[in-house]
Structure 1
Amino acid sequence: MAEIQESGNKKKGGKNKQKKMTVRVDFTPMVDMNMLLITFFMLCTSLSKPQTMEISMPSNDKNVTEEQQSKVKASQAITLLLGGDDKLYYYDGEPNYKDYSSLKETTYKADGLRAMLLQRNRAAVNEVNELKQQKLNLKISEEEFTKKLGEIKSGKDTPTVIIKATDDASYKNLIDALDEMQICNIGKYVITDIAEADEFLIKNYDSKGELSQNLAE
């Protein structure tokens, strides 16, 4: 509230001087208002939750790792090799070190890695889209959606992606590859260290098979 205080002095002869008016504003009610606003926004605003990504990491136990790898069918395994200068290679199943053309080169663009993964995971992608539509139509609950989504992504006929990065690859390359796993509904993927044989594949591909020819000779 504002208060106005008047003050004035009388001159000799009975005349008053001009009155001086001073205004004092009381900000005490503003404190209560601010507290009410803060309380209101705290109750009505939902705190942002951190978004996390589930990543399947290989075990340190070599026996367990070999057992897990043996369960992966070669026809369903796709190995991504992240190279330097934003280069991206991949091969299906077991690598063929004698044939450099068995290693394919692609890009991180939508018509590159994403198109390839969507084609390999087409059945699961269609099922996920139908499942999302059921959720939008309120035919299934959030818990049922999450459960069925996990079952679809980890189905028997879905591909398994193995991601290997060279020392020349950037963190951006790895993040881009992981983003495509989510976009393409890949439920089975793993990040593991690159082997010397995989680095040989890249060098042999860049040399158009000269390294494998030299080894054969």
Structure 2
Amino acid sequence: MEERRNNFGRIEGRIRTKKLNARVDLTAMVSVSFLLIVFFMLTSYMSRPQCMDLGMPEKYDEEERNGIICILEVSDDRDMTILLGENGKIVSNWGNFSSPKEEPKVFNGNTNDLTKELRAKSQHLLDIYGDPKKGLIVLIKPSKKSSYGDLVNALDKMAITRVPTYAVVDITPEDEKLLAEK
């Protein structure tokens, strides 16, 4: 018996395959690239250092320092000295050290008492002079026993109260004596 195959109308010998056009769907790639861009933008923004500008004077040799004459006329009621001690202890002295305007006050660095004091003194000077440029001048003197965090907290309080002029200077033996007494 003869075997016959049913070709269903196809011609023998030719095999036809349907060729599909190759297409790449870029929808997923666009979504992934958008997410990567957003991710890197956010991480670069959050990795920026949070810092405060602090201008420090140059260090001079004794010979150079003797040649420099610096005269700064400031009234005693604008001058405030902040002494930083150990364990967050802060002593503030308003006025000249030899003749203070009021008795030195002791604060705890963890409270907002120093911030209130700085705001009160700044408002007092604004009422007297009427010029924000003639505001409070604060000298911050950290002792050897104070921590770096205490200094940063004091600088933060200067920024919070918007004290126009402040400086970090070396502590003198008289200041250390006052800090030890209080």
Give TM class, smaller chain.
Answer: 0.5 to 0.7
Change (3 A) 1:185 1:32: closer
Q: Is the 8 A contact 1:91 1:102 kept in 2?
A: yes
Q: TM-score, normalised by structure 1?
A: 0.56
Change (3 A) 1:75 1:65: farther
After superposition, give the CA deviation of every residue in 1:25-74 in whole Å (9 maximum; x if it has no partner). xx9974453124324x2698583443331223234344698626x33332
Tell me what 1:93 maps to. Answer: 95
Tell me what 1:121 maps to. Answer: 122
Q: Is the 8 A contact 1:59 1:65 kept in 2?
A: no
Tell me what 1:177 maps to. Answer: 154
Change (3 A) 1:103 1:63: farther
Q: How does 1:26-175 map to 2 (within 5 A)?
A: 30-39=28-37, 41=38, 47-48=45-46, 49-61=48-60, 62=65, 67=70, 70-96=72-98, 102-108=103-109, 109-110=111-112, 112-122=113-123, 152=132, 155-156=133-134, 158-175=135-152
What is the identity percentage for the equivalent residue pairs of Structure 1 and Structure 2? 24
The answer on 1:188 being equivalent to 2:159 is no
Q: CA deviation at 1:171?
A: 1.2
Q: 3-state DSSP class of the match of 1:79? A: strand
After superposition, give the CA deviation of every residue in 1:81-117 in whole Å (9 maximum; x if it has no partner). 00112111011222139x9x8432122311x101110
Change (3 A) 1:187 1:54: farther
What amino acid maps onto 1:56 in structure 2? Answer: G
Q: TM-score, normalised by structure 2?
A: 0.65
Tell me what 2:8 maps to. Answer: none
Paired residues, number: 148
Q: Is the 8 A contact 1:96 1:102 kept in 2?
A: no
Q: Which ranges in structure 2 are unaligned for 5 or more consecutive residues?
A: 1-24
Change (3 A) 1:63 1:114: farther
Distance 2:116 2:68 in 1: 29
Q: CA deviation at 1:168?
A: 0.8
Q: Which ranges in structure 1 are unaligned for 5 or more consecutive residues?
A: 1-26, 127-150, 207-217
Change (3 A) 1:87 1:163: same
Distance 1:75 1:65 in 2: 26
Q: Is the 8 A contact 2:78 2:125 kept in 1?
A: no
Give the ranges of 4+ consecutive aligned residues of structure 1 lying more than 6 Å apart after TM superposition. Answer: 123-126
Larger radius of gyration: 2
The answer on 1:199 being equivalent to 2:146 is no
After superposition, give the CA deviation of every residue in 1:140-161 in whole Å (9 maximum; x if it has no partner). xxxxxxxxxxx94xx02x0100
Q: Is the 8 A contact 1:58 1:190 kept in 2?
A: no
